[in-house]
Structure 1
Amino acid sequence: MKRITSQRRARPRWAAVGALLAGAVLPLTLQAAPARAATAPDGGDVIANLFEWNWTSVASECTNVLGPKGYGAVEVAPPEDSIRLSGHPWWEVYQPIGYDLNSRMGNAAQFASMVTTCHNAGVKVYADAVLNHMAGNNNTSTDSYGGDSFNSSTESYSQPGYTSADFHASPANCPNSDLSITDWNNQAQVQECDLSNLEDLYTETTHVRQTEAGYLNSLVADGVDGFRMDAAKHINAADMAAILAQVSNTTWTNSRPYVYQEVIPGSTNGALQPAAFESNGSVIEFTYAQDLKAQFTGDIANLKTFGQSWGLEPSSASTSMVTNHDTERSGSTLNYKSGANYILANLFELAWGYDVPQVYASFDWTNSDDSPPADANGFVTNTDCSNGWFCTDRNQGVANMVGWHNATAGQSVANWYDDGTNLIAFSRGDRGWIAINNESAAKTVTVETGLPAGSYCDVIHGDLTPSTGACTGSTVTVAGNGTATVTVPAMDAVALYLPNAASGTVGESFGVNQTTSWGQNVYLVGSIPALGSWNTAQAIPLSSSGYPVWRGTVTLPANTYVEYKYILKNSDGSITWEPGNNHSFTTGASGNGTLTDTW
């Protein structure tokens, strides 16, 4: 939310009465309490925050990137009609003048089509909802993108039918005569005075509650699955609960909308702290993002204990981010101008598994008020990731870590390693492993990965096809004892994972009885990528713990024909192949298998 400061006149006391006489926009009867979490139908929960992308571009991104990469949801900019100002600053969309779905991102039909397209790609849609206020009366413009008439200086907004009676006044509500907030620990000021001169809605009244619930229900009717509640700290939690109680279940999954709220921490008043709002939904974790900046510009080894003990909200009640539209401009968090630190922080967020993660993708800017790329009338033009936009969601490592995040869901952090400063590595159970090098030189380490033996795709630098194990980039071999020797490039990362069982994988234990001489070791190589595709440099090392039987367990695609052989790697670097024909078998549909062969 753009913070604007100027003096305001006092609103007359009589303006606070009469709202209860106004009619509702829609008759609403549902009273179910909102849930605090939701997952996309495919199980993913990562939110791509496509800040101020137009609806056509969002739809295309859902089809071509977000769905295929496993993103669970997309957050879109406020879709309601808003004020239009000279220069078209980005924050226009946070100054609504009505609730028609005709905005600078597109019209109502384009919005509805976008939601359908995203659903067809398996992606939920969360809309940024501005309920705290309407456009500020310090504006001289009476122009809007959708064309509805309004005059903020007289508190008249025709589309929702708001008049002065629908706004907080002084001294009846706000104790300050100019309606400004001067004490950020005073609940009455924070929730009943005007935030940055924006007209503060009287959310205690039936008319305002029903009108706002009607707006949210119009979005739900179009298929919207959840809401980012802008400036939620400035709405009394009881008022928000009353509004949400009137909102219908979602149409796609017949579940409660996912709600995550903008509640900036720092108040000493408990009623204004994030925990006070968690009964209505998750809260956005600003402290999380600030802490990531501190560590990625310091020593990331400190992140070993990162979590609630650092003062974060509970994982089950929060939504994390690396940056957003406000904090990237204020400098309190990393942003796209931070270079590799920014990308590495996104990789860590997706790997760490604390709360619901967001990936922020928006436009380039020089001045903090800059408009997104737009035409002469302020309507946002199609996103071009090579010109004027920074599409973090498409970054190869970030996009592929969404699949990593989904595959490791529910697994605890384990096998932590750090060098004391800026190289860290950890696993999520036995499903995924990542190393992050926040240093200016490459680092080579041998570490415990927690993964079964096998050849794994480094998804930071290559694309993995889970169903076949095919990898477009480099691979890393995990030995039978779970260790791997990995070189992590400077300011870069390496990440490996086992695709979800739903993609069709089985565990196969290979064993061969073979006596060896000093300096010889037995390896496994075969016809599919998981067994090195007959490349002896990618062969799987077997463990001699049961000597003379050498054994290792490898994850293979289900229902797949496999040929394989054992090899000896000799002390002089030469290779001795097992004699005779290739071994062959077809993997099962599920579960684990055991093979024992004789050389």
Structure 2
Amino acid sequence: MRSRTSPRSRPRPLAAPAALVACLAALLTVPQPAQAAPPGTKDVIANLFTWNWPSVAAECTNVLGPAGYGGVQVSPPQDSLKRSGTHSWWELYQPAAYDVNGRLGTRAQFASMVQACHTAGIKVYADAVVNHMTGQGSVSYGGRSFTKYTYPGTYSGADFHYYPAACGNSDNLIHGGDYTGNAANVQRCELVGLADLDTGAEYVRSRIAAYLNDLTSLGVDGFRVDAVKHMSPTDLSSIYGRLTGSPYIFQEVIYGAGEAVQPSQYTGLADVLDFQYGRYLKEKFSGSISDLQTFGATWGGMQPSAKAVTFVTNHDTERDGSTLTYKDGATYTLANIFQLAWTHGAPQIYDGFTFTDNDASPPSDGNGYVTAANCSSGWTCLHRDAAVTAMVGFRNAVRGTSVTNWSAPDTDVIAFGRGSAGWVAINNGGGPHTGTFPTGLPAGTYTDLIGGGAVTVAAGGTATVTVPAKSAVAIRVGGPPPAASVATSFGVDATTYWGQNVFVVGDVAALGAWSPAAAVPLSSAAYPVWRGTVNLPAGTAIQYKYIKKNPDGSVTWESDPNRSFTTPASGAATRNDTWR
């Protein structure tokens, strides 16, 4: 959800002597918040927004565990609003009851998912919506009938904040000016009309804690707590103090400069989501990345590294335009590669579903129940991307090391080491960049985790590397051994005019990964045959084409289909073609 906080508020009516006893007892027995356990030695969390429980279970088993992820964040598991007709994603963020039986699956499926993820070595963090209930009455996905403020078996009208006893606005809503001047209203009025729970009341606190403890009993390892800005630290401290075990907690507190409620007010309770992190990365990856050397808590609004859960985007920011998204293509991928290589905070890799309407539903059946995630249709799956999974392994391998050997030879190119354990170079520009970089690694030959080629580090720790356009190079000690390569000669009979040149481009990094900017130039020494040699991975199916780059900067592609061949297991290969 978007921001929030909280207050004291309308307690249930008590006789005067009983109220006094209750207040004294509360003062003497305020629970202390549970000590939130850290995310562990594998701190990368896959945020699988709106994925249903069977899909999350399969992803833990088949992708997240093998790739080295440490955890998975799942969407709100409680029963929720089910509107008639259109079913928006945000129905999940309007609880109708705390039963684990809703739009993403049944209680049994949820429990099975948690077990499958644990078997794969993945911790499960549930998105906990406990600041509010719904904004309207309806029937829930679990079949419950309810009205706003009345949720049979969960809450009644006495359990919410109202004007004038709690909220200072007669319409009961948070107003825009409240954020900079009135913390009480931010925490005691309604966020976009959602029934605001009186988290200062004993019954509400105990009911929320019972729900979270129920999730813990199903094996959940921790919680992403939604809309924390709209609940007071005092109320949350009491709720957290009632939780069993030591769940890892990270809180949604959206930073706003000059606002009355700040993330720093909650870091004493648990970690917080660092919203400035993704905002800054959009700014830098949309302009110059060369000044990211100091990126961290000293940048305005960012949180201390030890208290921050970071992200390039999430379900709110990909809709409000404040961060990069899957729609930004290679730039978005590079920002995530940087996040995984950098030292600040515990990173999340976000994936949801494709959309053009900000209110759109995830892929669902006719009744609104979310269907199986399909990475080839309707769902974004960056967490599966080969470069991203390689960098998850990189992060695990360099854990505990600091940033070293920073280099920024261009506004679009940066490189840095992680102690003597790993090194990465990122090129956000439109053309390849070749340079000699200090890596800090022992001399030897390493495999580029992104492109698959070999990188040679000299005795002094330097490496001469070509970083393809909109791509990266990453190497680490203990990485996979360099794959065998085959010197492949490409020749094409192609007539050209003065100033026009011929290149070869293809589906592997050595051939530019289909990027004309990173295509391999061919020599015209034997004109009209243009020829060049490229080292390609051995025993690999290759697709390629020839292109002509014109003097005005435009590119002419030869006609379809793609050319294809398989490199031999050893030796050399030759391609003799004619432009078509």
**TM-score normalized with structure 2 length:** 0.78
Secondary structure of the equivalent of 1:134?
coil
**Residues 244, 486 of structure 1: CA spacing in aligned structure 2 closer, same or farther, 3 A cutoff?**
same
Which residue of the partner structure matches residue 175 of structure 1? Answer: 168
Which residue of the partner structure matches residue 215 of structure 1? Answer: 211
Which residue of the partner structure matches residue 68 of structure 2? Answer: 70
Which residue of the partner structure matches residue 422 of structure 1? Answer: 412
1:180 is displaced (CA, Å) by 1.1
Aligned with residue 282 of structure 2, among 293, 296, 303: 293
Alignment of 1:57-456 (within 5 A): 57-85=55-83, 86-136=85-135, 139=136, 141-152=137-148, 155-160=149-154, 162-182=155-175, 183-185=178-180, 186-249=182-245, 256-266=246-256, 268-269=258-259, 272-311=261-300, 312-456=302-446
Which residue of the partner structure matches residue 12 of structure 2? Answer: 17
The answer on whether the counterparts of 2:453 and 2:482 sit within 8 Å (CA) in structure 1 is: no
Which residue of the partner structure matches residue 593 of structure 1? Answer: none
- Tell me, yes or no, if structure 1 residue 497 matches structure 2 residue 476: yes
Alpha-carbon displacement from aligned partner over 1:386-422 (angstroms, at most 9, x marks no partner): 0000101001111110110111111010011112401
**Residues 248, 15 of structure 1: CA spacing in aligned structure 2 closer, same or farther, 3 A cutoff?**
closer
Q: Distance in 2 between matches of 1:368 and 1:95?
A: 17
Alpha-carbon displacement from aligned partner over 1:48-106 (angstroms, at most 9, x marks no partner): 00000000000001011110111110000000000011311000000001000011110
Q: Distance in 2 between matches of 1:93 and 1:308?
A: 32
Secondary structure of the equivalent of 1:197?
coil
1:147 is displaced (CA, Å) by 1.4
The answer on whether the counterparts of 1:19 and 1:206 sit within 8 Å (CA) in structure 2 is: no
Which residue of the partner structure matches residue 572 of structure 2? Answer: none
1:36 is displaced (CA, Å) by 4.5
Q: Distance in 1 between matches of 2:483 and 2:70?
A: 32
Q: Distance in 2 between matches of 1:264 and 1:55?
A: 28
1:280 is displaced (CA, Å) by 1.4
Q: Distance in 2 between matches of 1:291 and 1:279?
A: 24
The answer on whether the counterparts of 1:34 and 1:258 sit within 8 Å (CA) in structure 2 is: no
Which residue of the partner structure matches residue 543 of structure 1? Answer: none
**Residues 534, 397 of structure 1: CA spacing in aligned structure 2 closer, same or farther, 3 A cutoff?**
closer
The answer on whether the counterparts of 2:331 and 2:470 sit within 8 Å (CA) in structure 1 is: yes
Alpha-carbon displacement from aligned partner over 1:503-553 (angstroms, at most 9, x marks no partner): xxxxxxxxxxxxxxxxxxxxxxxxxx748879999xxxxxxxxxxxxxxxx
Q: Distance in 1 between matches of 2:455 and 2:189?
A: 58
Secondary structure of the equivalent of 1:427?
strand
Secondary structure of the equivalent of 1:128?
strand
Alpha-carbon displacement from aligned partner over 1:176-195 (angstroms, at most 9, x marks no partner): 11111121131110000001
Unaligned segments of structure 2, at least 5 residues:
4-8, 20-28, 489-580
Q: Distance in 2 between matches of 1:267 and 1:446?
A: 41
Q: Distance in 1 between matches of 2:329 and 2:482?
A: 36
1:304 is displaced (CA, Å) by 1.1
The answer on whether the counterparts of 2:264 and 2:303 sit within 8 Å (CA) in structure 1 is: yes
The answer on whether the counterparts of 2:32 and 2:237 sit within 8 Å (CA) in structure 1 is: no
Compute the RMSD of aligned alpha carbons. 2.5
Amino acid at match of 1:173: A
**Residues 437, 37 of structure 1: CA spacing in aligned structure 2 closer, same or farther, 3 A cutoff?**
farther
Amino acid at match of 1:314: P
Q: Distance in 2 between matches of 1:490 and 1:322?
A: 21
Q: Distance in 1 between matches of 2:222 and 2:379?
A: 25
Amino acid at match of 1:158: P
1:351 is displaced (CA, Å) by 0.4
Which residue of the partner structure matches residue 519 of structure 2? Answer: none
Q: Distance in 2 between matches of 1:499 and 1:151?
A: 59
The answer on whether the counterparts of 1:89 and 1:371 sit within 8 Å (CA) in structure 2 is: yes
Q: Distance in 2 between matches of 1:127 and 1:530?
A: 38
1:482 is displaced (CA, Å) by 1.2
**Residues 339, 172 of structure 1: CA spacing in aligned structure 2 closer, same or farther, 3 A cutoff?**
same
Q: Distance in 2 between matches of 1:499 and 1:104?
A: 44
- Tell me, yes or no, if structure 1 residue 488 matches structure 2 residue 467: yes
Alpha-carbon displacement from aligned partner over 1:230-256 (angstroms, at most 9, x marks no partner): 00000001100100100001xxxxxx1
Alpha-carbon displacement from aligned partner over 1:267-305 (angstroms, at most 9, x marks no partner): 5355x1110011111111111110000000000001011
Unaligned segments of structure 1, at least 5 residues:
4-13, 23-28, 250-255, 462-472, 501-528, 538-599
Identity %: 51
Amino acid at match of 1:477: T
1:19 is displaced (CA, Å) by 8.8
Q: Distance in 2 between matches of 1:531 and 1:341?
A: 27
Alpha-carbon displacement from aligned partner over 1:369-395 (angstroms, at most 9, x marks no partner): 000000000010000000000101001
The answer on whether the counterparts of 1:15 and 1:164 sit within 8 Å (CA) in structure 2 is: no
Aligned with residue 51 of structure 1, among 44, 49, 52: 49
Amino acid at match of 1:180: L
Which residue of the partner structure matches residue 34 of structure 1? Answer: 34
**Residues 19, 322 of structure 1: CA spacing in aligned structure 2 closer, same or farther, 3 A cutoff?**
farther
Q: Distance in 1 between matches of 2:92 and 2:14?
A: 26
Q: Give the stretch that moved more between structures: 183-192 or 364-373.
A: 183-192
The answer on whether the counterparts of 1:90 and 1:371 sit within 8 Å (CA) in structure 2 is: yes
Amino acid at match of 1:265: Y
Secondary structure of the equivalent of 1:91?
helix
The answer on whether the counterparts of 1:130 and 1:231 sit within 8 Å (CA) in structure 2 is: yes
Amino acid at match of 1:333: T
Q: Distance in 1 between matches of 2:198 and 2:439?
A: 55
The answer on whether the counterparts of 1:397 and 1:460 sit within 8 Å (CA) in structure 2 is: yes
Amino acid at match of 1:247: L
Q: Distance in 2 between matches of 1:321 and 1:449?
A: 26
1:158 is displaced (CA, Å) by 1.2
Q: Distance in 2 between matches of 1:50 and 1:385?
A: 12
Amino acid at match of 1:357: P
1:212 is displaced (CA, Å) by 0.2
Amino acid at match of 2:173: S
**TM-score normalized with structure 1 length:** 0.75
